[in-house]
Structure 1
Amino acid sequence: MNAFWNRWRKQLAWESVPAGTVEGRADRDPAVGPALTDELERVLTPVMRPCAGIALAGAAESPIHSFLTGHPYLPAGTTWPEGAAGPQIFVGQINFAEVASVGALPGFPRTGLLQWFVDADDTYGLTFDRSAGTAGFSTRWYADPSTAAGSPQPDAPTPTDTVDDLPMEFVGPTALQFRHSISIPDWSGLPAQHRSDPIWERLAAALGERRADPEFVYEEYVRGGSSLLDQLRTASKVGGYPSFTQDDPRGTGSYPAADSGQAELIIELDSIDVGGWGDSGVAHLFGDPAALATGGLTSIRYHWDCL
């Protein structure tokens, strides 16, 4: 974490920021920077989690790379998954060797390929009864994918050729690039003692922010669009804390509780990066990373929501 906090210290060394370059912020006392950094380190370090930020990176070059849409890795003899509406839509696949190459995620697989499919209907398979989270999607795991075994099969059905409304706003295999990042919870996920800490009022004053509401300060200047944390990742990622446009489903229906160890964020795809998923939507797979590392998929739950 030292490198992370050193970056914080550089960003909060406000004497290097010309006055007036950020609208609505007053001049700061240079001494405030290091003091606030130490306080933020004390408050945030206990809740930080590593994650692998996801970005789109052009056309995929191999059937065993990480990519979204297109034709998945499909060894000879493997059938395309079927859902209630026929052949399912291929969302994407994650090669965990690529994830691990940018930094280990504790408990997550370091190798293996996870694939994600959803039903070809107007909710992308999401159900709203007792089956919510457990139906309308498929996942597949390949512990040791082989390029030679994974060439596309011409006779395999490709639902994305016939479905008009896709989860994401592009077709064709689009490669994923990973970056080792830091994830912190949203305001409601912070422990109560963190939410009541005076650091948020101090940060508001230092930023010249007249609105001293702690939740606003945290979501805007620490976790949100004006964040000073250059390694923070709140959108598409592997691991870390999830983000939602509405409510966290975990702990309701068939979704295990967030603190159960069975509902950690495995993958998040945010429309801010990939488009689609309804109106500014976010899609998730939750589960037990340790079970996934052994090829266990029974804990995997599916969810997406939008505005």
Structure 2
Amino acid sequence: MEHSLKKAIVLQAVEEPVTYTDSKLGGQPYCKPGDEFPIHESGTPYMFLAQLNFSQLPKLENYPQHGLLQFFVLADEDYGLYEDGYYCRYYEEIETSVDIEPFSEEEEEYELCEPIIFGGPYALKATLQEELVPYTDPRSVHYELPMEDPEYGKYFDKTDSSGTKIGGYAFMDKNSFDEHNSHAELLFQLDMEGNDKKTYAMILDSGTMQFFIEREALKAKDFSKLYYYIYSL
């Protein structure tokens, strides 16, 4: 089982001040001078989800060591799932900001869908951890996993793969994987975020959003082609 270990950066959204170049959930994406908020060719607006400042994060092999990676999805009925409606923007070099981005409780309004991020921005606090392959991952067949109780229950509890994170294993069932993402790396997973008093992020009915990338593209920092999925129980 130890051979299945993969490192992941687990992210937790918190209500703490952020600058325009910090890792964050919601708010306004950083733009270099001359750049603008991306616009889909259909005219449907994009929804900004998150940006990751890799200079501030623990290091993962093959993932960027610096730079800023941003995630957007179409603000339509299916959040761009069936229209190849995601956009990923990577700035390899940025000028670090010290200006605090104002926090707002107001939610963005969209004509065709409900927002995913409620208010913001929210800071993303990072923790490096190792994950064992879950039963639900098609790669689990290559490992001798405990299949009898009580070992099964203990292992299952340790490998649910939920949470907002970079790398590691995705929170999906075997039927959700296909020939693409079963051979790709998890670039970013957005799960429900919040605390006992307030919800920060919610995808459909407690769903999870994932972006996968081929390993060679990841090494080359080529984020033009991703595999984008929404998993909802």
Classify the TM-score, shorter chain.
0.7 to 0.9
Structure 2 CA distance, aligned partners of 1:149 and 1:298?
29
Q: Normalised by the size of structure 1, how large is the TM-score? A: 0.63
* Kept after mapping to 2: 8 A contact 1:88/1:118: yes
* Residue 108 (structure 2) aligned to one of 151, 157, 161: 161
Structure 2 CA distance, aligned partners of 1:193 and 1:295?
30
Judged with a 3 Å threshold, the aligned counterparts in structure 2 of structure 1 residues 150 and 120 are, in CA distance, closer, same or farther, namely: farther
Judged with a 3 Å threshold, the aligned counterparts in structure 2 of structure 1 residues 112 and 99 are, in CA distance, closer, same or farther, namely: same
Q: CA deviation at 1:217?
A: 4.8
- Per the alignment, residue 184 of structure 1 pairs with 132
- Per the alignment, residue 145 of structure 1 pairs with 94
What are the ranges of 5 or more consecutive residues in structure 1 without an aligned counterpart? 1-43, 153-159, 206-213, 225-232
Q: Normalised by the size of structure 2, how large is the TM-score? A: 0.81
Q: Which amino acid aligns with 2:87?
A: S
* Kept after mapping to 1: 8 A contact 2:53/2:68: yes
* Kept after mapping to 2: 8 A contact 1:67/1:173: yes
Give the 4+ runs in structure 1 shifted more than 6 A.
Answer: 149-152
Q: CA deviation at 1:236?
A: 1.3
Structural RMSD (CA): 2.7
Q: Secondary structure at the match of 1:62?
A: coil
Structure 2 CA distance, aligned partners of 1:74 and 1:151?
15
Judged with a 3 Å threshold, the aligned counterparts in structure 2 of structure 1 residues 63 and 286 are, in CA distance, closer, same or farther, namely: same
Structure 2 CA distance, aligned partners of 1:56 and 1:71?
15
* Kept after mapping to 2: 8 A contact 1:184/1:223: yes
Q: CA deviation at 1:46?
A: 0.4
Structure 1 CA distance, aligned partners of 2:99 and 2:85?
25
Q: CA deviation at 1:141?
A: 0.5
Q: CA deviation at 1:200?
A: 4.9
Structure 1 CA distance, aligned partners of 2:17 and 2:173?
29
- Per the alignment, residue 150 of structure 2 pairs with 204
Structure 2 CA distance, aligned partners of 1:65 and 1:54?
13
Judged with a 3 Å threshold, the aligned counterparts in structure 2 of structure 1 residues 98 and 147 are, in CA distance, closer, same or farther, namely: closer
Structure 2 CA distance, aligned partners of 1:287 and 1:188?
19
Give aligned-pair identity as a percent: 24
- Per the alignment, residue 295 of structure 1 pairs with 221
- Per the alignment, residue 285 of structure 1 pairs with 211
Q: Which amino acid aligns with 2:21?
A: I
Render the CA deviation track for 1:197-233: whole Å, top value 9, x for unaligned. Answer: xx554x617xxxxxxxx4x45323x325xxxxxxxx6
Indicate the structure (1 or 2) with the bigger Cα radius of gyration.
Answer: 1
- Per the alignment, residue 123 of structure 2 pairs with 175
Matched length: 218
Matched, 1:223 2:180: no
Q: Secondary structure at the match of 1:147?
A: coil
Structure 1 CA distance, aligned partners of 2:225 and 2:115?
26
* Kept after mapping to 2: 8 A contact 1:56/1:177: yes
* Kept after mapping to 2: 8 A contact 1:74/1:151: no
Q: Which amino acid aligns with 2:231?
A: D
Judged with a 3 Å threshold, the aligned counterparts in structure 2 of structure 1 residues 278 and 257 are, in CA distance, closer, same or farther, namely: closer
Structure with the higher helix share, 1 or 2:
1
What are the ranges of 5 or more consecutive residues in structure 2 without an aligned counterpart? 102-106, 195-199
Q: Which amino acid aligns with 1:94?
A: L
